[in-house]
Homo-oligomer: A and B are copies of this chain.
Amino acid sequence: MKAVGIIVEYNPFHNGHWHHLQETKAKTAADCLIAVMSGNFLQRGEPAIVSKWARTKMALAAGVDIVIELPYVFAVQAAEQFAHGAVRLLDALGCQELCFGSESGDIAAFLTAAKTWFQHKEKFDSLVRSELARGQSFPKANAEAWRQLDSDALDLSKPNNVLGFAYVKAIWQNKLAIVPRTIPRLAAGYHDESFSHSSIASATSLRKVLRQTGQLERIAAYIPSTTAEQLQQYRLTYGRWHDWEAYFPLLKYRLLTSSEEDLRRIAGVEEGIEYRLKQKIVSAETFATFIAATKTKRYTWTRLQRLCVHVLTNFTKEEQNKAAAPTYIRLLGMNETGRRYLQQVKKELALPLIAKAAKLNGDPLYEQEKRATAVYTAAFPEPLYSAALKEEYATAPIYFSGMERK
């Protein structure tokens, strides 16, 4: 069986993701489609709108055969570390290809860019450093260094090109036998907050509508029915969807009761930002106003969000430095095809395949996952908090036996 990997967040799963799945299947002739998915918190430093379990159901219903979890220590990271964890996991599960969506849509451009990068790595790094020294943010410093290398192969001001580029580099750096492929993304840009296409809208814009109106029917045209059902069911069960504001009281409490020394131990706290965080939090009444007041040219909104997730989950530099590579493959869900595939490869896997998370107690990556879940579920009042917390340890992988949407 030919396994093909995809790297996803599904926050929530929408028609653009559906398109990506169909194109991936058509282009790769995959027998088994494996998604590595972020868990409670996402790459840009935000809580997922619904739990990993609900999002796994969305993925399986749309035709993904296996969903595994990208551990927190890789998920809530800049592109390079995110890509590193994701491709290592797909490789560990035996994927022959990786198929990602990008603004470019041309894999040759990524390969050319990656070659340029490897050839001029030292010059590139020194250009980045000098841009950083001029006070630029990491993304801007990277883009500018890239421009100065005079490579027009790939537009690295586009967020999905940046991620795709990181995937290709990570495959090469890890010397993995995974063939990268890319599919052009439809219409909507990742960050677009307005609807611009009749059935395709970015996850960002969908979440914004839900946050502002609370009305599922407002986004119905842009999501499969399973996503609507899962979002509906989740709100019925847990009383809410998740956004940063739900965690702001915890963040404020944590920052106010942490010393500067405590904060310096947290991953991503550099260059004295701890003083600014402690200063700005005192009178901030919402997360949005807090980040707006705190951000600088150097500390972008996304970087601050990610850092704040690390503060909330008490994720330290020491823990980050120790997280060199995935230590397990955590299965979140599968269908019959996925089950057969796992049956076939399970004896050759490079990492332990884990169905019951309780077996992972003591694994440093999973200990951080538990903390992330403890934060994520703290958005619920008791007794829901305790119940949701228990699901982290006790939920068996979801087996999807339903008909796939045609």
Contact = CB atoms under 8 A, between A and B. Distances in A.
Interface of A: 248-250, 252-253, 256-259, 262, 282-286, 312-314, 367, 370-371, 374-375, 378, 381-383, 385-386, 389-390
B282 A371 contact: no
Contacts of A250: 250, 253
A381 B383 CA distance: 20
A139 to B, nearest CB: 29
B253 A284 contact: no
Query: Looking at chain A's contact residues, is the secondary structure mostly helix, strand, loop, or mixed?
Result: helix
Given A250-B250, A256-B371, A378-B249, A262 B314 contact: yes
Given A256-B371, A314-B257, A386 B283 contact: yes
A252 B383 contact: no
A201 B386 CA distance: 37
A282 B314 contact: no
Given A250-B250, A389-B282, A390-B283, A257 B382 contact: no
A35 B378 CA distance: 40
A375 B285 contact: no
Contacts of A285: 382-383, 385-386
Given A249-B378, A283-B390, A378-B252, A257 B371 contact: yes
A367 B259 CA distance: 9
A331 to B, nearest CB: 23
B374 A253 contact: yes
B374 A256 contact: yes
- Give 3 nearest A-B pairs by CB, closest first: A256-B374, A285-B382, A257-B314
A352 to B, nearest CB: 23
A109 to B, nearest CB: 42
A253 B386 contact: no
Contacts of A374: 252-253, 256-257
Nearest to A313: B257
A253 B259 CA distance: 18
A285 B382 CA distance: 6
Among A313, A314, A370, A375, chain B packs the most CB atoms within 10 A around the CB of A314
B252 A385 contact: yes
A314 B259 contact: yes
Nearest to A393: B282
